[in-house]
Amino acid sequence: MSNELKRGLEGVLVTESELSHVDGDVGKLVYRGYDIEELARGASYEEVLHLLWYGSLPTRGELDSFRGELESERAVDDDVLSTVRALAEADERPMAALRTATSMLSAYDAGEGGTLEEGARITAKLPTILAAFERARQGESAVDPSPDLSHAGNFLYMLTGTEPDETSEETFDMALTLHADHGVNASTFTAMVIGSTMADVCSAVTGGVGALSGSLHGGANQDVMEMLHEIDASEKGPVEWVKDARANGRRIPGFGHRVYKVKDPRARILEEKLRDLADASGDATWLEYTTAIESHLESEGLFEKGIAPNVDFYSGSVYDAMGIPMDLYTPIFAMSRAGGWVAHVNEYQEDNRLIRPRARYVGAADAAFAQIDDR
* pLDDT tens digits, one per residue of 110-123: 788 999 999 999 99
Give the angle subtended at the CA of 350 by the CAs of 344 and 354, to the nearest 5°.
80
Q: Contact at 8 Å (CB) between 199 and 70? A: no
Catalytic residue among 173, 181, 264, 312: 312
Nearest-angstrom CA–CA distance, 148 and 154: 8
Report helix, strand and coil shares of the chain as percent, to nearest 5.
60, 5, 35
Q: Is pLDDT at 1 greater than 60 in this prediction?
A: no
- Which amino acid, 126? L
> Which strand ranges, in their side-by-side order, compose the sheet holding 20-23?
20-23, 28-31, 34-35
pLDDT value, residue 216 = 82
Nearest-angstrom CA–CA distance, 124 and 90: 26
Nearest-angstrom CA–CA distance, 294 and 300: 10
pLDDT value, residue 236 = 95
Name the band, by pLDDT with cuts 50, 70 and 90, for residue 8.
confident
Catalytic residue among 217, 276, 296, 327: 217
Q: Is pLDDT at 220 greater than 90 in this prediction?
A: no
Nearest-angstrom CA–CA distance, 1 and 11: 16
pLDDT value, residue 174 = 96
Domains by residue range for the chain, with CATH: 28-184+328-349 (1.10.580.10), 220-321 (1.10.230.10)
Q: Which of 114-128, 175-189, 247-261 has the lowest mean pLDDT?
A: 247-261
DSSP string, 218-232: T-HHHHHHHHHHHHH
**Phi-psi map region of 374: left, alpha, beta (phi>0 left; psi -120 to 50 alpha):** alpha
Residues in the chain: 375
Nearest-angstrom CA–CA distance, 86 and 98: 12
Nearest-angstrom CA–CA distance, 252 and 297: 10
Catalytic residue among 182, 257, 264, 344: 257
Name the band, by pLDDT with cuts 50, 70 and 90, for residue 2.
low
Nearest-angstrom CA–CA distance, 261 and 235: 33
Segment 205-227 mean pLDDT: 91
Residue 312 is among the residues annotated as catalytic for this protein: yes
Instruction: Give the closest residue to 105 by CA, choosing from 119, 115, 94, 116.
Output: 119
**pLDDT tens track for 33-67:** 999 999 999 999 999 999 999 999 999 999 999 99
Spell out the alpha helix ranges (H) of 15-77. 36-42, 45-54, 60-71
**What is the residue-averaged pLDDT of the chain?**
94
- Which amino acid, 2? S
**Residue 31 gets which letter from DSSP?**
E
Cα 130 to chain centroid distance, Å, stands at 13
Q: Contact at 8 Å (CB) between 73 and 121? A: yes
